[in-house]
Amino acid sequence: MTTPEERNEAAEHSQRRGSHATAYWTVGRGRGELRAEELPEPKANEALIRTLYSGISKGTELLVHEGHVPESVAGTMRAPHQEGDFPSPVKYGYLSVGVVEQGPEDWQGKKVFCLHPHQDRYVVPLEDLTRIPDGVPPRRAVLTGMVETALNALWEAGPRLGDRVAVVGGGLLGGTLAALLRKFPLQRLELVDVDPDKEQTANVLKIGFARPEEAQKDCDLVFHCSATSEGLRRSLQLAGDEARVIELSWFGDAPVSIPLGEDFHARRLSITASQVGVVARARRHRRSTAERLELAVGLLKDPVFDNFLSADTSFTELPHTMEHLAADHDRSSCHVVSYPEG
């Protein structure tokens, strides 16, 4: 609970710093920089947030960093509070956790999650903030957006009692999804990946693991998260007759090849796209995006999600960090960015 004295001290500190902020921008293919920005004074329905942590979703954000957003979906791919346009210069990102420094009294001092780019301070409408509940450490809360994506896929798929399920691709999204699926009363849950090191993720989650060539077939549901043609091809092979493959990968402008000439038609298989931009149809009329976020951040009370967080790097090093991540093919964790006053 924040005392009035603490709130006044925070407000005075904010005023001393002035109305300036620093944000990360992608300024060219494979290049980023930190830019100074002016901050507006918060209105009655807004809050000033001081960032504690932000997360780098390596799949999508590195496609943006490397200039691989197709022009045809540039509008659809816009993130909340994005500035600029693809390919660059653009301020992009959507995993931010901070504390309310200025705003209505019942918000001051509260830890919040926001779908905001990497920036040390920002002003947003209150309706864009999701309060982080007790029991969820702020650092872990950067995964809220990933859990929201996995939750939406589960609403899309609707797993049933006794289902046989495979998750193909054990990176950050696949691992997060498997962490949620392990709570379901399934007959079988298997994490499938070409990387034998992903067995460690499966062991932490206490679920099965298999290389693609060894994975069990005749699945009721297959979730594809590897962002490779080979992974999607294998997903179709693992699906049982008339089963569904839920496609969560985003390929950017990379071409995708799948063998629809094999048993896709003969076994009446289905590929369903899952995209977090809208609430899954099965819940769209009864859940808002804000309610979906509230549920997602509450699920992060489970400490198993700490296994999907990287070591921290400083916000001041973010341009260099993005270059390093682009050269590293490991997509198994959310890269955590810490802010100097966090």
Contact 246, 231 (CB under 8 A): no
CA distances, 104 to each of 3, 7, 70, 133, 184 (Å) = 14, 11, 40, 18, 40
Q: Assess if CATH 3.40.50.720 describes domain 146-273.
A: yes
Domain 4-133+302-338 adopts which CATH fold?
Quinone Oxidoreductase; Chain A, domain 1 (3.90.180)
Q: Is 255 helix (H, G, I), strand (E, B) or coil?
A: coil
Residue 87 preceded by cis peptide, ω within 30: yes
Segments of the chain scoring below 70 in pLDDT = 1-18, 342
Pairing relationship of beta strands 239-247 and 83-84 according to DSSP bridges: unpaired
Apex 99 CA angle, 97 and 100, nearest 5: 125
Contact 332, 205 (CB under 8 A): no
The predicted pLDDT at position 2 comes to 43
pLDDT digit string (tens) for 61-103?
Answer: 998 999 999 888 888 889 999 999 999 999 999 999 999 999 9
Domain map of the chain by residue range?
A: 4-133+302-338, 146-273
134: left (phi over 0), alpha (psi -120 to 50) or beta: beta
Q: Please count the other Cβ atoms lying within 10 Å of the Cβ belonging to residue 262.
A: 13
Residue 89 preceded by cis peptide, ω within 30: yes
Query: What phi and psi values does residue 64 have, to the nearest 5 degrees?
Result: -65, -45
